[in-house]
Each structure stands twice: as structure tokens, then as C-alpha cells.
């Protein structure tokens, strides 16, 4: 009995050792096969031959993963106008989350516009990785439908606002979404203003100026920040006005924005903001003055020698380049 | 007499049967979890996290006590991490060497005033410094108060939504931060996440980065490589999947700052502040009726140096075990309470029985077994069964772990490295595991006697060998 148990255990151990070694050997082979496949796809794309890529798209997990790796590593190398194979589009409805994930990533990388609607449906997928991959795919595909779907997804709370803003921070998306702002809720509008700033979407400036003065609280913060990022000189007056906003977050953003703008006309107002009751506003005003050349530096010197100890410290730090 | 011995042996045997069954179940769940991650991995675009201006800002807290040799290299390596919105906050915990001067010289530090963002109590802060050449770096100089106190001082002045706790000599993989942040971005209910800690001994390190992974020649660190792999891939990942992760290593964890501050920061009374914090987060969130996600994620990697001498190893394990005992004692009110969900009903009891009391049972079991064999109280068949259960299942779980490693991560690419790990999974059963049980059993004695503190630490600087006391890897 004892011998049998010992032998059985010995056999089990031998099997396990062998399986680890076999796995290692197997993976080595699989890796080299995968490397060759990637090289074939790259070479094919360089010669205008989409055969190897299409083969990988229609393949199982590993070929598809290789196609993803190649297309991600060479953005823009994908063939223009390649219509995605039907099985790949069907794969969006697979029961397996990884399969849906791969399909949605590939359709995004291929810029498959005709699949926009099907991809958008996955913004509400049960798997969070698939949801985010769908959001990225819509961004890569581009177009008004995708941008609107991304903003609408904010309502479901399945994607966090920052993840949506990242993906609509492109001039084309802002341009497509601006006319629709009337139907958006506050969160969607706030996200759009933030995206406009990141995307450097100049056409949003008139709307942003209006929002900076009259928008709701969250919107004003976002719009003032965006105006700063856009560096729009015509908005200087709105930014100066925002320095007197009742909300400290707006005032802090306005101070930063005026620093970026580099307009020395703001020195007096920023010097005044150094006495703001909010620590953030004082800090941002000091950093902004540090960006406004000699006049800004002179203002900092005045504040550093002034009576307000909090403002003086901020000013001294800004002069030394260690304010934060 | 023989009857008593036999009964004791049977009890020990029963203990090992249950323990092995749990380990096997955990390894199986871990296998499934790693497999599902590997399958979905290609859908994740970590580059997005690494480049987006909207990736959440995070502060790496680096408590430093007498780290003059390593600190500048460590900070430079941390600042070189590929992450868009990164702050590094070094807390000099009253070092008696020239840690602060080393930083001052390297980064041209200037004294600044900073308003605390929270009111956690800490030892007196003597000064705060910023650098005109490296705006992402802040240094807090404070009186000595221990690691937890230093982390709290860091939390007082950090302002970012996320913070990362790290040991001064931990090395992060360049993409570790973006990978772990993904978990917070994709699932906003995440409040804490730990990455895998791997043993760096034997690998090549240049400027605070691991450039080539190999197993070391010495056996003691090799055994620890396997032990860490088993603890993380075979244990922690499964506990995480079941929503019962009780430990995030102090060597590398990412947390939501607001939640940690609200829960009271790190506990300065324990030697296991990392595990205690996780337990308290579970408790705090449940007490406030919130669901929270506390996870272990195997892909973001950090590297740490494992002890190379038995003396340092035994001190490290003694500290881990005492930390565990203190944590369980402090939160004993959670035991078996339905309001704490799976953590209170399953995770806590498991840790109390198998991780806290377990080593005592194991050591007693080995002793009784030896006496029984000598006196002929047990048959050879029983002895064989006992050995297989007490030792043999360790093999099975170790092999499963190595299979997982090969399947998912393949960090030890060479055949000799894999061979050594395979050999280690056999060697460790003859002496090493028993030694660890003995050290952990002895920790009961040191804890009850009231000895405390971290013990002396000697360091020789990154790039060379860093003797270390690090990490928590129960199982």
C-alpha cells in the first residue's frame, strides 16, 4: 500500500516536471512562430500585400494578437480601405470577453468605419477591458457617430469621465460635438470643454468664453482651464474676470491660464490674487507671475517683501523656481 | 502513550490535509485568474495610460532611513518611470547618516513651505525641500518615527489622488505604474492594488533597473524566488479574485489617498503596517457601507533583494509573522462577522488558523511525528502518508506556480534558470520549509515577550547587493 502511494506520487511529480519543461519548450516554439508571423505581416504591409494581415485577422487567438501587436507598433501602417472580414465583425458578439476584446481592438486599429455602430454597442459591455477597448476603437475609427456614442456613454457611468475625455480630445471630435451641446447634461458638457482645451480646438473658443462667464460651477472650471490650454488671447478679459469668480477652483485655473498666456497686462490682477484666501490661488498666481517676465518678477519681489507672510513665502518660492 | 501520539499524529495529518486542499484550490483559482488575464491582455492598451495627460496623478512615497548609499540612484530611477503625472516624495525619517545631504547635493534642494493636505499625526517635521532642477521631487525631513510614521508624513503632504508606497530599494519595472493604474482607471471602485514582488538576486541591475533576469547561484535566494512566486501566483491572486486579499506588500502598492487618509493612514504601533492598512481599509469601507475593490494584479512588477543570510532571513520572517499576529489581534472584532463579508467569514478565519497558528501546529506536528517514528507508535505506511501530505503537496503547488509563470510571464527565460527553480521546488521541502515554520512559530514567543522594532538594517546601495528586510509573502 505504502509503496503504491509512493509510486503514484513519484509518477505525479515526474509528470509535473515534464509538463513544466514541455511548456517551456512549447512556448519557445510558439514565440518564434509568432515572431515570424509578425515579420510576415510587416513585410506584407510594406509591399502592399495585405494577405498575411488578413490571414491573421481571420485566425484564432495568437494570430490575432500578433496582428494587434504589429498594428499598434506601426500606427498608420494598416492598409487603407481594407474592409474587415465578416468573422471579425461577428466576433464582436462572441460569448468570450477576450474574443470580443481582440475583435474590437482590431476593428479600431483598422479604422473600420462601417463597424462604428457595432463597436459603440460594446461601450456597455459587461467586461471593463472590452468597454475601454471599444472606447479606444471609436476614437481610432473617428467620426461623429463614435464621438457622440462616447459622450452618451457618460450617462451610463460605465466609463469614467476622464476616460471619455481622453478619447474625444481631438479637433474632429470637438467639432462634431459642439453643435450637439444643447442636448448634453452638465457632465457631458464639462467633459467636452476639457477635451476642447486638450485638443487645441480653436473653434471652441467663443463657446468657452461664454461658459467661463455664465456656465455652471464645474463647467466654468473646465472652460477656464481649456482657455488657458488654448492660449487664446481674445479670452484674456474673460480670464481676468474669472480671477474674481466666487469659486476658488475657477480662480486658481484662471491664474494658471493667465501665466500661460504670457500677457503682462495681467500682472496687476495676479499680484492682487496673491492675497487670495485660497492657498491654491496664491500658489498658482505666484507661478503665473514667474512666467510674466520682468514685470512679473518685479511683482513677486514686491509681494516677497510685503506684509502677508503666506503670499511672501509663495513669491519667494516662485522666484527660486521651487513653487508648487 | 502510543495512543496519544497516534491521536496527535492524526490531528496533524488532518491539518495538513485541509491546508493542502486549500492550497490546491487557491492554486487552481490562481491558474484560472492568470489564464483569464493572459487572454484579455492584448485588449489593454497600457500605452494610453503612459501617455495620457488625464492619467491620474500619483505620488510615490519613499520612506528613507539611513539610505545615503542608495537614495539618489533610487530617486533617479523612480523619476525615470514612464508615467505622465508623477511626483516623488522622499521622507527622511531622522536618518543618522547623510541621506538628506546626498539628496540635497544631487537635486539642489531648497527649503519650501507646504500646506498639509490632511492632519494625520506624525513625528515633528523639520523641513520640506523642493528642487528647482527636478520639480517632481519633494523631500520631507522629519524626526525619527519609523516607517509607518514616515508614510503618514508623506500622506500629510501628498496631494495627488493616488499614492504608491514603495521601499527605498525597491526597483519598479518601467511600465509597472501604468499597468497598475489601469486597474484604477478601468474600475473606479478600486481603492488599493498590489503588484507582484520578485526577487532580484542574481539578475543584472543597471542604474536602478533590472536589465537581465536570472536566478542566483546561491540557494537561499533561489528558494525565496520560488517562495515569492508561489505566494503571489499560487496564493494572493486567488485571494484577490475571491475579494479577500488581506495583504498588499509594503514593497509596492498603489492606493487611493483620500480613502487611506480617511481610514486614518498607517498604524505606527505595528511592525506589519502594510498588511494592517489593507485589513483596516476592508473594515473601514464596510463600516461605511461602501463597496471597494482591493486587488492583487500580477503584471506590474517590482524587484526587491532577498536576504542572503539565514540571520537576516530569520529576522525578516519573524517581523512578518509578528506583523500578521498584531494585525489579526487588532482586528479580531472582524472575525466571523457577517457585516465584513467574505473577509470576516472566510479570509480572516483562514489567516488566523493557517497563517497565525499554523506554524505552531506544523512544528508540533513534526516533533510528534519524529518521536512517534522513534518509538514505533506509527506504522511506515502512516509515516509515508504523513510525509507526502506534509511535504509532497508543496511540490505540486510549486510546479503549478512554475507552469503559471511559464504560461503568463516568462520572466526567467533561460533553461538553467528554470532548471534551478524546478530543483528548488524539491530542495525546499527538506529543511527550508521546516526552518521557516520554526521561525514563524518562534515569532509567537518574541511577540508575546514584547520585543519589537525592525532590527538593524545594513544597505550597500543599488547596483551592488542590497541586504534587505522586505515584503510580506505568507503561504
Which band of pLDDT confidence, cut at 50, 70 and 90, is reported for residue A210?
very high
What letter does residue B85 receive in the DSSP assignment?
A: S
Residues B232, B441: Cα–Cα separation, whole Å:
22
Best of B39, B42, B50 to disrupt the A interface (most A CBs within 10 Å) is: B42
Q: Which three cell numbers stand for residue B427?
A: 530542495
Contact A9 B392 (CB under 8 A): yes
Is B188 an 8 Å CB contact of chain A? Answer: yes
Are B186 and A128 inside 8 Å of each other by CB? yes
Helix (H, G, I), strand (E, B) or coil at B300: strand
- The answer to whether the beta carbons of residues B145 and B93 sit under 8 Å apart is yes
Instruction: Please name the member of B52, B130, B415 whose beta carbon is closest to the beta carbon of A166.
Output: B52
pTM: 0.90
Question: What is residue B451's predicted lDDT score, i.e. its pLDDT?
Answer: 56
Task: Of B313-327, B343-357, B393-407, give the lowest mean pLDDT range.
Answer: B393-407
> What's the pLDDT score for residue B395?
83
**Does residue B181 contact residue B164 with C-beta atoms inside 8 Å?**
no
Find residue B302's DSSP bridge partners: B172, B197
For residue B469, pLDDT over 60 is answered with no
Least Cα separation, residue A232 to chain B (angstroms): 20
Closest CA to B265 of B348, B163, B376, B178: B163
Please say whether the beta carbons of B252 and B78 come within 8 A.
Answer: no
Q: Mean pLDDT of all residues in chain A?
A: 91
Residue whose C-alpha cell is 511592525:
B271
> What does the pLDDT look like over B118-158, one tens digit per residue?
889 999 999 999 999 999 999 999 999 999 999 999 999 99
pLDDT for the residue numbered B472: 32
Split at pLDDT 50, 70, 90, the class of B99 is very high
Q: Is the pLDDT of residue B473 over 60?
A: no
B339 touches chain A (CB under 8 A): no
- B24 shares contact with chain A (CB less than 8 Å): no
Strand partners, B137: B88
What Cα–Cα distance (Å) separates residue B118 from each residue in B115, B121, B339, B389? 9, 9, 29, 51
Contact B42 A102 (CB under 8 A): yes
Specify the residue for cell string 498658482: A284
Interface test with A, best of B17, B32, B43 (most A CBs within 10 A): B43
The secondary structure of residue B214, as a DSSP letter, is -
User: Which uninterrupted H or E stretch holds B92?
Assistant: strand B86-93
Q: Which residues contact B40 (CB under 8 A, 6 or more apart)?
A: A97, A98, A101, A127, A129, A130
**Is B112 an interface residue toward A (CB < 8 Å)?**
yes
SS3 B286: helix
DSSP per-residue codes, B114-176 = ---SS----SPEEEEEE-SS-TTEEEEEE----HHHHHHHHHHH--SSEEEEE-TT-EE-TTH
The burial of B445, by beta-carbon neighbours within 10 Å (0-12 exposed, 13-18 middle, 19 or more buried), is given as exposed
Sign of the alpha-carbon dihedral angle for B115, B119, B125, B128: negative
Give the residue-averaged pLDDT of B426-455.
83
The 10 Å CB-count burial string (b at 16+, else e) for A290-319 is bbbeeebbebbeebbeeeeebbbbbbbbbb
Which among B52, B132, B406 has the least Cβ separation from residue A23? B406
**A320 interfacial to chain B (CB closer than 8 Å):** yes
With an 8 Å Cβ cutoff, is B185 touching chain A?
Answer: yes
pLDDT at A84: 84
A301 neighbors A319 (Cβ within 8 angstroms): yes
Residue B468 has pLDDT above 80, yes or no: no
Contact residues, A window 105-134, toward B, CB-based 8 Å cutoff: 105, 127-133
* pLDDT higher than 90, residue A79: no
Cell numbers that stand for B376 in this block:
514505533
Residue A129 binned pLDDT confidence (cut-offs 50, 70, 90):
very high
Q: Which pLDDT score, from 0 to 100, does residue B466 have?
A: 33
What is the pairing mode between strands B171-172 and B86-93?
unpaired
Q: Which of A24, A100, A156, A291 best tests the B interface by mutation, with the highest count of B CBs <10 A?
A: A24
Q: What is the pLDDT of residue B467?
A: 31
B399 pLDDT above the threshold of 90: no
**Mean pLDDT taken over chain B:** 88
What pLDDT score was predicted for residue A81?
A: 67
Q: What is the pLDDT of residue A155?
A: 86
The CA distances from residue B358 to A186, B295, B349, B429, in Å, are 56, 25, 12, 17
Most confident of A194-198, A292-296, B5-9: A194-198
**Closest CB to A5 among B114, B115, B385:** B385
Q: Decide if pLDDT at B454 tops 50.
A: no
Pairs of CB atoms within 8 A across A/B:
120
Handedness of CA B328, B330, B336, B341 (dihedral sign): negative
Q: What is the bridge-based pairing of β-strands B162-166 and B86-93?
A: unpaired
- pLDDT number for residue B457: 40
Q: What is the DSSP letter of B453?
A: S
Amino acid at each position: 500500500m505504502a509503496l503504491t502511494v509512493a509510486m503514484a506520487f513519484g509518477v505525479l511529480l515526474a509528470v509535473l516536471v515534464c509538463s513544466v519543461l514541455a511548456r517551456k519548450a512549447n512556448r519557445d516554439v510558439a514565440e518564434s512562430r509568432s515572431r515570424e508571423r509578425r515579420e510576415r505581416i510587416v513585410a506584407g504591409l510594406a509591399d502592399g500585400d495585405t494577405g498575411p494581415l488578413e490571414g491573421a485577422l481571420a485566425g484564432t487567438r495568437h494570430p490575432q494578437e500578433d496582428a494587434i501587436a504589429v498594428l499598434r507598433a506601426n500606427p498608420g501602417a494598416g492598409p487603407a480601405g481594407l474592409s474587415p472580414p465578416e468573422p471579425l465583425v461577428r466576433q464582436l458578439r462572441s460569448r468570450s470577453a477576450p474574443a470580443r476584446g481582440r475583435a474590437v481592438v482590431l476593428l479600431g486599429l483598422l479604422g473600420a468605419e462601417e463597424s462604428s455602430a457595432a463597436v459603440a454597442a460594446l461601450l456597455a459591455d459587461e467586461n471593463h477591458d472590452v468597454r475601454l477597448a471599444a472606447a479606444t476603437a471609436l476614437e481610432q475609427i473617428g467620426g461623429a457617430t463614435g464621438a457622440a456614442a462616447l459622450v452618451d456613454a457618460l450617462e451610463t457611468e460605465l466609463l469614467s469621465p476622464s476616460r471619455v475625455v481622453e478619447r474625444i480630445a481631438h479637433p474632429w471630435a470637438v467639432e462634431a460635438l459642439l453643435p450637439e451641446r444643447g442636448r448634453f447634461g452638465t457632465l457631458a458638457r464639462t467633459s467636452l470643454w476639457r477635451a476642447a482645451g486638450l485638443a487645441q480646438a480653436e473653434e471652441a473658443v467663443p463657446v468657452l468664453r461664454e461658459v467661463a462667464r455664465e456656465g455652471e460651477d464645474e463647467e466654468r472650471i473646465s472652460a477656464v482651464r481649456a482657455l488657458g490650454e488654448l492660449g487664446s488671447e481674445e479670452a484674456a478679459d474673460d480670464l481676468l474676470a474669472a480671477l474674481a469668480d466666487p469659486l476658488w477652483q475657477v480662480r486658481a485655473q484662471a491664474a494658471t491660464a493667465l501665466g500661460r498666456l504670457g500677457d503682462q497686462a495681467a500682472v496687476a490682477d495676479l499680484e492682487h490674487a496673491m492675497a487670495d484666501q485660497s492657498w491654491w490661488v496664491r500658489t498658482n498666481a505666484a507661478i503665473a507671475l514667474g512666467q510674466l517676465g520682468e514685470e512679473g518678477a518685479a511683482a513677486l519681489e514686491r509681494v516677497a517683501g510685503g506684509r502677508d507672510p503666506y503670499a511672501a513665502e509663495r513669491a519667494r518660492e516662485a522666484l527660486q523656481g521651487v513653487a508648487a | 502513550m502510543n495512543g496519544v501520539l497516534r491521536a496527535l499524529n492524526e490531528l496533524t495529518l488532518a491539518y495538513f490535509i485541509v491546508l493542502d486542499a486549500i492550497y490546491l484550490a487557491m492554486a487552481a483559482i490562481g491558474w484560472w485568474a492568470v489564464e483569464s488575464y493572459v487572454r484579455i491582455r492584448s485588449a489593454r492598451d497600457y500605452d494610453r495610460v503612459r501617455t495620457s495627460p488625464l492619467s491620474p496623478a500619483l505620488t510615490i512615497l519613499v520612506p528613507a532611513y539611513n539610505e545615503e548609499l542608495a537614495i539618489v540612484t533610487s530617486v533617479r530611477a523612480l523619476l525615470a518611470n514612464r508615467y505622465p503625472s508623477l511626483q516623488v516624495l522622499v521622507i527622511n525619517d531622522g536618518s543618522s547618516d547623510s541621506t538628506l545631504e546626498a539628496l540635497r547635493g544631487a537635486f539642489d534642494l531648497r527649503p519650501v513651505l507646504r500646506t498639509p493636505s490632511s492632519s494625520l499625526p506624525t513625528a515633528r517635521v523639520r523641513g520640506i525641500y523642493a528642487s528647482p532642477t527636478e520639480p517632481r521631487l519633494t523631500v520631507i525631513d522629519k524626526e525619527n518615527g519609523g516607517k509607518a510614521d514616515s508614510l503618514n508624513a508623506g500622506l500629510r503632504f501628498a496631494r495627488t489622488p493616488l499614492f504608491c508606497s514603495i521601499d527605498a530599494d525597491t526597483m519598479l519595472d518601467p511600465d509597472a505604474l501604468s499597468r497598475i493604474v489601469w486597474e484604477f482607471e478601468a474600475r473606479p471602485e478600486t481603492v488599493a492594488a498590489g503588484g507582484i514582488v520578485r526577487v532580484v538576486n542574481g539578475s543584472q541591475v543597471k542604474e536602478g533597473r533590472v536589465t537581465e533576469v536570472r536566478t542566483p547561484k546561491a540557494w537561499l535566494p533561489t528558494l525565496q524566488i520560488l517562495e515569492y512566486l508561489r505566494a503571489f501566483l499560487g496564493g494572493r491572486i486567488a485571494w484577490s479574485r475571491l475579494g479577500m486579499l488581506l495583504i498588499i506588500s509594503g514593497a509596492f502598492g498603489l492606493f487611493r489617498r483620500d480613502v487611506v487618509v480617511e481610514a486614518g493612514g498607517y498604524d505606527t504601533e505595528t511592525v506589519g503596517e502594510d498588511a494592517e492598512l489593507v485589513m483596516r481599509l476592508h473594515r473601514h469601507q464596510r463600516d461605511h457601507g461602501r463597496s471597494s475593490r482591493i486587488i492583487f494584479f500580477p503584471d506590474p512588477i517590482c524587484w526587491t533583494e532577498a536576504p542572503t543570510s539565514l540571520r537576516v532571513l530569520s529576522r525578516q520572517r519573524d517581523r512578518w509573522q509578528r506583523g500578521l499576529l498584531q494585525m489579526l489581534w487588532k482586528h479580531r472584532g472582524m472575525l466571523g462577522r457577517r457585516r465584513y463579508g467574505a473577509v470576516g467569514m472566510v479570509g480572516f478565519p483562514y489567516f488566523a488558523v493557517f497563517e497565525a497558528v499554523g506554524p505552531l501546529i506544523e512544528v508540533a506536528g513534526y516533533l510528534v511525528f519524529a518521536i512517534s517514528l522513534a518509538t514505533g507508535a506509527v506504522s511506515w505506511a502512516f509515516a509515508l502518508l504523513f510525509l507526502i501530505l506534509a511535504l509532497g503537496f508543496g511540490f505540486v503547488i510549486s510546479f503549478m506556480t512554475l507552469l503559471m509563470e511559464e504560461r503568463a510571464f516568462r520572466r526567467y527565460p533561460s533553461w538553467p534558470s528554470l532548471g534551478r527553480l524546478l530543483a528548488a521546488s524539491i530542495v525546499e521541502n527538506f529543511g527550508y520549509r521546516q526552518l521557516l515554520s520554526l521561525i514563524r512559530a518562534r515569532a509567537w514567543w518574541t511577540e508575546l515577550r514584547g520585543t519589537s522594532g525592525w532590527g538593524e538594517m545594513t544597505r550597500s546601495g543599488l547596483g551592488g547587493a542590497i541586504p534587505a528586510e522586505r515584503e510580506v509573502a505568507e503561504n
